[in-house]
A and B are shown apart, each in its own frame.
Chain A
């Protein structure tokens, strides 16, 4: 199910040249802000929770997920070089699975790791906040990577649709319509984090069981369907 050559190519496509710059700049910004806040305001649990929840989990993880998830397959389909990969005797689901593993790994490294570092800088893991948000970021990385990888195979405008989901659905509708929060990767991962932190600092609108089931379901279904899409991929010209 895992093909090292495909993985190596995907890593190079994801981290090559300028892509690595933007992927690296966002976590760096988070850590810099964490240092600045710690220096100005001192260690405070509420502040740490606000910053990690509002900036790291709500904005940074989805954006890194979009870049890594769609970037793992989108450009190849876009410029048509995916036919050279598809013409090799490698199963299409294997290609998708390998690319998913790579996308998950990249998202985790560039979002969960800085979340952990920023959490430790902010309040030294007081009330388990740093660990809780890191776990949330790890869990969210898996679901986002699978979801956006699927989008990359379905649509040529995958980045836009991914961002519409992450920013408009989760952030805008999520804050206005309570029901929208039930269908949000962010809330599902927060449910897991709530369990880890065990305090009042991290809360979610979704129960733990529902969240885990939905997370697993979305990941598996998205990966399976992406494999199916790749089996019958039609290459279209630009617009």
Chain B
């Protein structure tokens, strides 16, 4: 649709009247903050985004609500322990995350797609990669951000329990040991859940679908595993050492993986039916499985972002 421009003023003939005006553009010669700074920014923005900070009020509601739901039972337990002058907290530090696994799964399911699916849907990933950051930086920043967000979610109630236990003048050494074991356990849990959630969410640009897929993997596997364990427990009631099958079945869901690992090595009482966790030998398999899954999800994410529909 080229419109003929009327030929206006005749082209000036004199060479000295045509010039390119210097209107003061200057090249940037300040410090370049570089790749690591960009990665750190992506990390901190993703971490803030996981709690809805810097986003609309509506997207703050759910993460904050889940955070409160995680912490309130801990506060109630502390209050009860202080009021009744109990010798011990009603729940172990390591057990707390297992009891609240539904809330943690919901948090992963809602925030993992929030973190990566929207970048895919609005095609902002190519924009990230036009900055100095590389594929690995993007994956590391997102992974670390979601794992940190999960760690905050799972460690905060433990902190409430610990502070409360100290205020209630429970045994200091005992409580500190339990608290440290709990922290190790929730660190592994955060890394594992964040990895699984991100791998699933990074496949789909649709947020709603990502949420459903993550929650399906988390809850269906947990539901299936605990049902099978209950059946295995009922079958082997009469036999000695019948916990073998229960322990092996536990390898197939993220929650029971963490549960088995911490009851083998972190002095936790297992939530498996019959209360018998895996032995040390089987525990090694659990550790290998957990670390393997974390590494595998990191590898899968790296592969996923090698090509991003550029």
Contact = CB atoms under 8 A, between A and B. Distances in A.
Contacts of A59: 219-220, 223
A9 to B, nearest CB: 17
A188 to B, nearest CB: 20
A71 interface: yes
B220 A22 contact: no
A200 interface: no
A41 B212 contact: no
Contact of A55 (B223, B234, B235): B223
Contacts of B213: 22
B106 A164 contact: yes
Interface string A41-81: 10000110011001100111001001100110011001000
Contacts of B208: 70-71, 74-75, 78, 158-159
A163 B228 contact: no
B133 interface: no
Given A54-B223, A55-B224, A167 B212 contact: no
Interface residues of B, number: 36
A40 B230 CA distance: 13
Contact of B211 (A29, A33, A160): A160
Contacts of B105: 167
Interface in A213-239: 238-239
Contacts of A18: 203-204, 209
Interface string A24-50: 001001000100110011000011001
Interface residues of A, number: 40
A22 B227 contact: no
A167 B102 contact: yes
B212 to A, nearest CB: 5
Contacts of B56: 239
A168 interface: yes
A66 B212 contact: yes
Interface in B221-250: 223-224, 226-228, 230-232, 234-235
A63 B234 contact: no
Nearest to A19: B209
A167 B204 contact: no
B271 to A, nearest CB: 14
A36 B232 CA distance: 11
Nearest to B204: A18
A156 B103 CA distance: 20
Contacts of A26: 216, 220
Contacts of B122: 238
A153 B109 CA distance: 21
Interface string B45-60: 0000000000110110
Interface in B21-50: none
Nearest to A33: B224
B110 interface: yes
B220 to A, nearest CB: 6
A58 B220 CA distance: 10
Contact of A37 (B211, B212, B215, B231): B231
B153 to A, nearest CB: 15
B206 interface: yes
B234 A47 contact: yes
Interface in B158-194: none
Given A168-B103, A238-B122, 14 more contacts: A29-B224, A33-B224, A37-B231, A40-B231, A41-B235, A47-B231, A51-B231, A54-B223, A54-B227, A59-B220, A78-B208, A157-B110, A163-B106, A163-B212
11 contacts: A18-B203, A22-B216, A40-B232, A41-B235, A47-B234, A58-B223, A63-B220, A67-B212, A159-B208, A167-B219, A168-B103
